[in-house]
Amino acid sequence: MDFSFLFQSISPLTISDLFHQFAPLTITGLALGAIYGLIALGYTMVYGVLQLINFAHSEVFMFGTFAVAWVVVFFHGTSSTSQGLFSTLGLLAICLVAAMLTSAAIALLVERVAYRPLIRKGAPKLIILIAAIGASFSLSEIMGLRDQIVGWFGLKDNLSNYVSQARNVYSSPITIDPHGLFSIGNYRVTDVDLLTIGAAIVMMAFLDQFVRRTRLGRGIRSVAQDPESAALMGVNATRVVQVTFLIGGLMAGAAATLYMIRIGTTRQNAGFIFGVKAFTAAVMGGIGNLRGALLGGLVLGVAENWGAALFGTNWKDVVAFVLLVLILLVRPTGILGESLGKARA
């Protein structure tokens, strides 16, 4: 038998396709990038304060996505329906609160259990990094084993809508149908696109002002600049670190809600890809820089879509990471390379 057809080249879109499809590729890329950016805020803040890559942040996001789906199942049941964005706004508000609280709680838990004891003992950064990776795997597997965990308490039957087939894809039963509002080029911009991009920009701006203008924000900046001097000036470093994780968790919860509105399904390893992408976005924008995190996310999302259109979807990561290397070659500190500590009030 001739199997050569298995290896025939996959014909991708061409440059003219990229030109014709420029508007849809760019706008959907921006929407995906906005979610990357919101997750990236968590990586960048923790890095700015602790010079630590919080690998467990992807799981903080993943728990948020589950919180959204659970809330929908709790109020709506499991029957699959489609609804518009506006008719579900009330439910989505509850989802947002639940996801932000869940993600923040997980972020604080990780900080308390995995990092604080090591930081207190002055452990080298590498050890803390390993603890971060361990926390990430543990949280992901706990989600994948949740059916057995509730089984220990004899609740498996009562909670079967929430935990059965724990390793399988878990879907929000309400599908949010986007509605086209206006056209840009040949693309109908939808309410979901606007919500995703708008929410990310508003939250980033809010967080940016919080860090620049408030007392707690000044504390965060001072610890990022020089933890020892900050401690001498009476800044409670532990509290600052806690607040940093809390904010990162809240942003991840918001990202999780937007993700569930756009995508609608999650699973125990859903955080992995988004974690890697968000971390990349943080580095691309300049790690430690809040505005850079969102900018990096948007650039990454658009670059991925353009790359996918030019070379085929399986090449999108290659394109995105080549772009990252090119940016770092020209600006080694990222696009807006400026650290959290140097942000001016």
Does 141 bind another protein (CB under 8 A)? Our answer is yes
The tokens describing 203, both together, are 């939250």
Q: Which residues pair with 83 in a beta bridge?
A: 176
Among 85, 237, 264, 333, binds another protein (CB under 8 A): 264
Tokens found for residue 274: 């988004």
Q: Is the CB of 25 or the CB of 67 nearer to another protein?
A: 25
270 belongs to the binding site for another protein (CB under 8 A) = yes
- Structure-token match 């014709």, residue found: 20
Given the complex with another protein, which of 184 and 273 has the nearer CB atom?
Answer: 273
Q: How far is the CB of 32 from another protein (least distance, A)?
A: 5
Q: How far is Cα 212 from Cα 205, in angstroms, rounded to an integer?
A: 11
Binding part of the chain for another protein, among 10-18, 217-225, 236-244, 323-331 by CB under 8 A, reads: 10-18
Alpha carbons 83 and 81: distance in angstroms, whole number: 7
Task: Using DSSP, state whether 171 is helix, strand or coil.
Answer: strand
Q: Is 272 in the site for another protein (CB under 8 A)?
A: yes
CB of 109 to another protein, least distance (A): 23
The one segment of 96-104, 202-210, 250-258, 308-316 that binds another protein by CB under 8 A? 308-316
Residues 164 and 257 sit within 8 Å (Cβ to Cβ): no
DSSP reduced 3-state for 165: coil
Q: Which is nearer to another protein, 19 or 121 (CB)?
A: 19
3-state secondary structure (DSSP) of residue 266: strand
Structure tokens at 328: 């770092």
Tokens of 168: 């399988």
Question: What's the Cα-to-Cα distance from 163 to each of 56, 70, 256, 290, rounded to whole Å?
Answer: 22, 10, 19, 36
Structure tokens of 123? Answer: 């452990």
With CB under 8 A as the contact rule, the residue among 177, 191, 208, 338 that binds another protein is 177
Rounded Cα gap, residues 89 and 96, in angstroms: 10
- The nearer residue to another protein, 66 or 115, going by C-beta atoms, is 66
Q: In terms of Cα–Cα distance, which of 145, 188, 151 is closest to 167? A: 145
From CA 25, how far away is CA 309, in angstroms rounded? 8
11 binds another protein (CB under 8 A): yes
59 scored as a contact of another protein (CB under 8 A) = no
**Interface with another protein includes 171 (CB under 8 A)?**
yes
From residue 191 to residue 230, the character string flagging contacts with another protein as x (rule: CB under 8 A) and all else as - is ----------------------------------------
If residue 155 lies in a helix (H) or strand (E), which one and from where to where? none
Binding another protein (rule: CB under 8 A), the pick from 178, 208, 238, 328 is 178
Please identify, among the stretches 104-112, 170-178, 232-240, 285-293, the one whose residues bind another protein according to the rule CB under 8 A: 170-178
Hey, how many other C-beta atoms are within 10 angstroms of the C-beta on 187? 18
Determine contact, residues 255/61, Cβ cutoff 8 Å. Answer: yes
Indicate whether 40 belongs to the interface with another protein (CB under 8 A): no
183 binds another protein (CB under 8 A): no
Sites of contact with another protein (CB under 8 A): 3, 5-6, 8, 10-13, 17, 20-21, 24-25, 28-29, 31-32, 80-82, 141, 144, 156, 160, 164-165, 167-169, 171, 173, 175, 177-178, 188, 262-265, 267, 269-270, 272-273, 304-305, 308-309, 312-314, 316-317
